[in-house]
Amino acid sequence: MRGLHWFRNDLRLRDNRALEALSDRVEAWLPVFVLDTELLARHPASRPRTRFLLDCLVALERDLAARGVAVQVLEGRPERVLPELARSLRVSLVSWNRSPTPLGERRDARVEAALRRAGADVLVLRDHTIVGPDEIRTKTGGCYSVYTPYRKAWWRAWHDAPRLATPRVRLPGKPIGAAPAASSAKLAGLLAAGSDPGGAIVAPRLPRGGEAVAARRLARFLEGPAARYAVDRDRPEVDGTSRLSPHLRFGTISARRCVGEGLERAKAEPAARAGISKWLDELVWREFYHAVLAHSPHVLGRSFRPEYDALEWNDDEEAFEAWKAGRTGYPFVDAGMRQLAATGWMHNRVRMVVASFLTKDLLIDWRRGERHFFDALVDGDPASNNGGWQWAASTGTDAQPYFRIFNPVAQGERWDPDGRYVRQWVPELKGLPAGRIHAPWEGGTLPPGYPPPIVDHAMARTRALAAYRRARQGASRARTRSSR
Ligand SMILES: Cc1cc2nc3c(=O)[nH]c(=O)nc-3n(C[C@H](O)[C@H](O)[C@H](O)COP(=O)(O)OP(=O)(O)OC[C@H]3O[C@@H](n4cnc5c(N)ncnc54)[C@H](O)[C@@H]3O)c2cc1C
């Protein structure tokens, strides 16, 4: 039997569930990637995430070439090009790992129907998360909307049946023919085209992609920073987190391998146990947000808590642009937004602060921030990005209560006490002492080129509290009316 494996968010050879299952079923195979023209139009090659993806693809192509296999890179709509290829190569089985988003699931249903019409069977497995959304249910059969009980249930599921990563690469027997050399040229062309800004977002200092890079990152993290993770994870100037998020996003490493190797390291190194245990909990947050999205797809577009759909947001374009450009006059916020623009990544603590600033201090709709993050982040992921934004806006599942509003100055003083992070990303403030760096308007004149605060935090806090209260009261009045 001949098979195709359609690579998507699983750009690796080791511990790839659908690919391994295909290996058990076919004698000859062809790896395929589809440059989806509709997706590329929305996320051009100049975007950090697309560039990272292309870099991962080049690495995958290299890894496969070293095993004598060539990837076929197709261009077009998957529901058209995949059945065409399957028919022309007389392929009877096409495998892929299940999409983690509702949009992807709908596309896959179309692809599956088209393949079946072309006479091919499909083999689809869950791989992107360790535990599937349907495997963890509350006692009443529902979905958890609070993280802590979900985490407990998640670890119960793990201990009942540990999902261990396959330690070695397992590929189907022999490759089908040779893919045209045009595949590499196509990728190189796209990467070159993407380096031209052309008005789109370009982050100049993106991380490198590929399975080998991800494996090295994991090893380096577990041997070093992991031991101090519980302490350092909130300090943006410390290189204290794994930076694996883009790799988990594109599957250059599996979450199973991260958890498995994390547990092994914790066993071997008792001093690292607390740090690693905290880190593993973050991987479970990722699984939690994927479960929330699977069970409540309405979160892509609306608040998880319907009472907040009535929030009256502020359409202040100038403030939104200042936030995006890192020119709000609040150094910790500006440092984060500039780190994002320069590297396509932002530290988690700072993501929480800039998201709170946009939604609470500027009272700008969380969906606008979510969109901007999705476009600018190299790890932009519908489930985690939405979860993070709705958490910060207090509209989500396990959200922070709306009356808890981050003070951007206090957050900077607490998590960047020496101001090293701010100095790295906001050069205008380089000369300020630690005592002034998070509130440069106090105790002297502002350094040239740095703006005064675009909003007064105390006033903004009062305004946000009133807006959230009004939305809740409106929703509760509407509920009372409808129950009469
Ligand atoms: C407003 C906002 C938006 C966010 N958008 C995204 C996004 O688009 N994509 C994304 O992967 N993460 C997102 N996060 C979560 C988190 O900020 C990043 O996963 C983390 O900063 C990545 O860095 P790291 O790989 O060094 O993480 P580590 O601290 O090393 O954590 C390991 C892994 O756990 C997962 N993880 C960690 N924290 C979280 C979290 N809070 N929620 C879900 N998963 C988590 C990630 O996959 C991460 O790579 C967002 C958070 C906020 C507050």
Mean pLDDT of 329-343: 97
Choose the residue to mutate in 282, 340, 371 for probing ligand 1, maximizing ligand atoms within 8 Å of C-beta: 282
Q: What pLDDT, on the 0 to 100 scale, is given for residue 197?
A: 47
Assess whether pLDDT exceeds 80 at residue 392. yes
Owner of token pair 């302490």: 231
Task: Map out the domains of the chain as residue ranges.
Answer: 1-127, 129-167+211-295, 306-474
* Nearest-atom index, ligand 1, CA of 351: 53
Closest CA to 285 of 395, 357, 365, 381: 381
- 201 pLDDT exceeds 60? no
- The residue whose CA has the least distance to atom 22 of ligand 1 is 245
Contact of 115 with 86, CB cutoff 8 Å: yes
Write out pLDDT tens, residues 84-127: 999 999 999 999 999 999 999 999 999 999 999 999 999 999 99
State in Å: Cα 86 to ligand 1 middle: 37
Please state the atom number of ligand 1 nearest to the C-alpha of residue 352.
53
To which H or E segment does residue 95 belong? strand 93-97
3-class SS of residue 127: coil
The architecture CATH gives domain 129-167+211-295: Alpha Horseshoe (1.25)
Respond yes or no: is residue 345 known to be catalytic. Answer: no
CA distance 13 to 19: 8
Ligand 1 in reach of 352 Cβ (< 6 A): yes
- Tell me: pLDDT of 476 over 80: no
Tell me if 250 CB under 6 Å of ligand 1: no
Q: Work out the mean pLDDT of the chain and round it to a whole number.
A: 93
CB neighbour class for 433 (10 Å; exposed up to 12, middle 13-18, buried from 19)? exposed
pLDDT band at 45 (very low <50, low <70, confident <90, very high): confident
Taking residues 242-269, report their average pLDDT.
Answer: 98
Active site residue 285: yes
Catalytic residue among 155, 313, 413, 428: 313
Q: Which two tokens stand for residue 196?
A: 């031209």
Determine if ligand 1 sits within 6 Å of the CB of residue 400: no
Q: Judge contact between 7 and 152, C-beta under 8 A.
A: no
Residue nearest to atom 21 of ligand 1 (CA): 348
Mapping DSSP to helix (H, G, I), strand (E, B) and coil, where does residue 469 land?
helix
- Residue 40's pLDDT band (boundaries 50, 70, 90)? confident
- Known catalytic membership, residue 282: yes
Would residue 6 show up in a list of annotated catalytic residues for this protein?
no
| Residue 182 vs residue 264, higher pLDDT | 264
Q: Whose CA is nearest to atom 46 of ligand 1?
A: 245
Centre of ligand 1 to C-alpha 305, Å, is 22
Cα–Cα dist 449/471, whole Å: 39
Q: Is there an atom of ligand 1 within 6 Å of 397 CB?
A: no
Percent of the chain with pLDDT over 70: 96
Which CB contacts under 8 angstroms, 24+ apart, belong to 60-63?
60/7, 60/11, 60/12, 60/13, 60/31, 60/33, 60/210, 60/211, 61/183, 61/184, 61/187, 62/210, 63/13, 63/210, 63/211, 63/212
The CA-atom distances, in angstroms, between 197 and each of 51, 93, 185, 203, 395 are 12, 40, 21, 9, 35
Instruction: Report the range of poorest mean pLDDT among 56-60, 139-143, 463-467.
Output: 139-143
**Angle in degrees, 0-180, between the axes of helices 331-343 and 317-325, rounded to the nearest 10:** 70
Task: Tell me if domain 1-127 and domain 129-167+211-295 are identical in fold.
Answer: no
Is residue 348 annotated as a catalytic residue, yes or no? yes
Residue nearest to atom 52 of ligand 1 (CA): 388
Index of the ligand 1 atom closest to the CA of residue 346: 21
CATH of 1-127, one of 3.40.50.720, 3.40.50.620, 3.30.365.10, 3.40.50.300: 3.40.50.620
On whether the CB atoms of residues 1 and 90 are closer than 8 A, the answer is no
pLDDT over 60 (residue 179): no
Closest CA to 290 of 117, 476, 132, 477: 132
Confidence category of residue 180, pLDDT binned at 50, 70, 90 = low
Categorize the per-residue pLDDT at 60 as very low, low, confident or very high, splitting at 50, 70 and 90.
very high
The CATH code for residues 306-474 is 1.10.579.10
Residues 6+ apart with CB under 8 A from 448: 428
Task: Please give the distance, rounded to the nearest whole angstrom, from the Cα atom of residue 479 to the centre of ligand 1.
Answer: 35
Per-residue pLDDT at 402: 84
Q: How confident is the model at residue 192 (pLDDT cuts 50, 70, 90)?
A: confident
- What pLDDT score does 205 carry? 83
Residue that is written with structure tokens 């009980």 in the block = 149
List 6, 29, 323, 389, catalytic entry: 389
Query: What's the CA gap between 207 and 245, in Å, rounded?
Result: 11
- Which pair of tokens denotes residue 311? 């929030």
Q: Residues 314, 348, 413, 441: which is the catalytic one?
A: 348
Q: Which of 124, 36, 40, 132 is nearest to 78 (CA)?
A: 36
Pairing of strands 174-175, 28-36: parallel
In whole angstroms, give the CA distance from residue 188 to residue 167: 31
* pTM score of the predicted model: 0.96
Position 181 scores a pLDDT of 58
Tens of pLDDT, residues 421-447: 999 999 999 999 999 999 999 988 999
